[in-house]
Amino acid sequence: MKVIDLRSDTVTLPTDEMRRAMYQAEVGDDVYKEDPTINALEQLAAQMLGKEAALFTASGTMSNLLAILTQTHHGEEVLLGSESHTFWYEVGGASALGGVVMHTVPNSQDGQIDLSMIEDSIRSQNIHFPQTTLLCLENTHNRCGGAVLTADYTSNAAEIAHRHGLLVHLDGARIFNAAIALNVPTSELARDVDSVCFCLSKGLSAPVGSVLCGTHEFIESARKWRKMIGGGMRQAGIIAAAGIVALQTMVTRLVEDHDNARRLAKGLSNITSIVVPHEVQTNIVNFETPLEVSGPDFIQLLNTRGVKIGYRGYNKYRAVTNRMVAADDIDEALNRIDISLKELY
């Protein structure tokens, strides 16, 4: 029985072309900026995101942390969505290591933060208040079901932030998914932000890594922070080589993941008692089962039938389409989910 893994697009494996590139990669010491493959990856990433420079990091969590450490000081305040990945899943690193206050503002289901709420949440100058210095956005939005932020929305949010003296960081872990969904250049989605990062190890299928982009000055500061937190890598061109292949060959195929996600969402909606509460825009499908169904029991039963999905608590679940899952696998997963649900409900 084939295992169909829909827990995350982080389960993607490197392609044969990536493995060959890794084997053949020309390498050097990146702390000395002497790894030619990393340098090439950073130049390519900066070009694709429309920024001056870029920095290869171990993960999206590291990239987001570096963006905050570089653009804030202890005691300052960061505005971010209440459902943001940085707030939920990054171990409070910005507060623990950066000493910043995390001020959450409600996300709507489309991943946006209401523009008037952004402006209202920026602190005025007052002896009692921390200074608000950074706004963080997320595109696509993980907990909001892969929702996409348009270039116009990001531009409007950035205009408010900049007008009040804030910088803007965009957690673009899946920004290439957003660009494909909107049919726009990725650089357009990052045009008005001061820093942006994206993951190579999700839908792009590289085994490791994220890239942080911004101005030359920002990247040099972030590079020093990266060294401080133990992220200075040596001959890491071995893994950067896969990232180059990912950017060159894997972006346009994200269309397939989006098509499979819509196929999955439609199939789930046709199963009695399953609810898909929101439109699927990219490769993340959130869905709900009846309250009478035990979430842990449902997950366990699916595991025994070779289907892996994410559990979001109570009766809420997440399925993420990826390169390892074909359209036929989606149909088979739907069949197994239907059988399992009938057994429990």
Q: What is the mean pLDDT of residues 214-242?
A: 97
Q: Are strands 310-313 and 53-57 parallel, antiparallel or unpaired?
A: unpaired
The whole-number pLDDT of residue 345 equals 78
Instruction: Please determine, for residue 5, whether its predicted confidence score (pLDDT) is greater than 90.
Output: yes
Q: pLDDT, tens digit, for every residue of 300-327? A: 999 999 999 999 998 999 999 999 999 9
pLDDT at 96 > cutoff 90 = yes
pLDDT digits (tens, 9 = 90+) for 65-76: 999 999 999 999
User: Hey, what amino acid is at 305?
Assistant: R
Residue 214 pLDDT greater than 90, yes or no: yes
Q: How confident is the model at residue 63 (pLDDT cuts 50, 70, 90)?
A: very high
Check pLDDT > 90 for residue 292.
no
Domain limits of the chain? 14-249, 253-344
Mean pLDDT of 85-110: 97
Average pLDDT, the chain: 97
pLDDT computed for residue 300 by the predictor: 95
**CATH homologous superfamily of 253-344:** Aspartate Aminotransferase, domain 1 (3.90.1150.10)
pLDDT at 27 over 90: yes
* pLDDT single digits (tens) 229-261: 999 999 999 999 999 999 999 999 999 999 999
Residue 293: the pLDDT is: 85
Q: What is the pTM of this model?
A: 0.96
Instruction: Answer yes or no: is pLDDT of 7 > 90.
Output: yes
pLDDT at 60 over 90: yes
pLDDT of residue 291: 83
Kindly tell me if the per-residue pLDDT of 34 is higher than 90: yes
Whole-number pLDDT of residue 254:
98
Report the sign of the C-alpha dihedral through residues 180, 182, 188, 194, in that order: negative
Three-state secondary structure of the chain = CCCEECCCHHHCCCCHHHHHHHHHCCCCCHHHCCCHHHHHHHHHHHHHHCCCEEEEECCHHHHHHHHHHHHCCCCCEEEEECCCHHHHHCCCHHHHHHCCEEEEECECCCCCECHHHHHHHCCCCCCCCCCEEEEEEECCECCCCCECCCHHHHHHHHHHHHHCCCEEEEECCCHHHHHHHHCCCHHHHHCCCCEEEEECCCCCCCCCCEEEEECHHHHHHHHHHHHHCCCCCCCCHHHHHHHHHHHHHCCCCHHHHHHHHHHHHHHHHCCCCCECCCCCCCCEEEEECCCCCCHHHHHHHHHHCCEECEEEECCEEEEECCCCCCHHHHHHHHHHHHHHHHHHC
Domain spanning 14-249, CATH class: alpha beta
Q: How confident is the model at residue 11 (pLDDT cuts 50, 70, 90)?
A: very high
* Residue 105: predicted pLDDT: 98
Residue 112 has pLDDT above 90, yes or no: yes
pLDDT of residue 107: 98
Average pLDDT over residues 128-150: 97
Phi then psi for residue 344, to 5 deg, are -95, -20
